[in-house]
Amino acid sequence: MDILESVAHRLHKNSDDLRTYDLPNLVSVVRRNLIREIDFRIEAQNLRIARTFASETDVIIPEIHNQYCSEQMLVMEYVQGEKIKDFDPGDEFDAQGLAKQGLNAAIKQIKTATLWCTFCFV
């Protein structure tokens, strides 16, 4: 990111065509978002929010072990399961039911996130 920031500043300084894009600010925004993405404390917070709707679905959200979590490490309970790609299409497998369940869980996550964001910014 430091190299990208240096290049952005040089381009901003030396190119009239690129100056309108404000590359240094763009790199700053990307840096800030990347740092947020790799901070596992934020991920732990997001999982705690997700647990608020988990009781309404068959989706399992692992428990967080906060005492072991840090910015660089996220420790959750182990949840035994199977990967979708490992299901044999020939077996009795309710693909449509699983798709509906996944879609319902995604919609509830979006609703929860929307309500959470509305609550935070009001």
Sorted by where each begins, the domain ranges of the chain are 2-37, 40-121
Q: pLDDT per residue over 78-97, tens digit each?
A: 988 878 788 777 777 677 87
Dihedral angle of Cα 19, 24, 28, 31, to the nearest 10 degrees: 110
CA distances from 108 to 15, 22, 37, 57 (A): 46, 37, 22, 9
Q: pLDDT per residue over 1-11, tens digit each?
A: 899 999 999 99
pTM score, whole prediction: 0.52
Q: Say if CB 68 and CB 75 are below 8 A apart.
A: yes
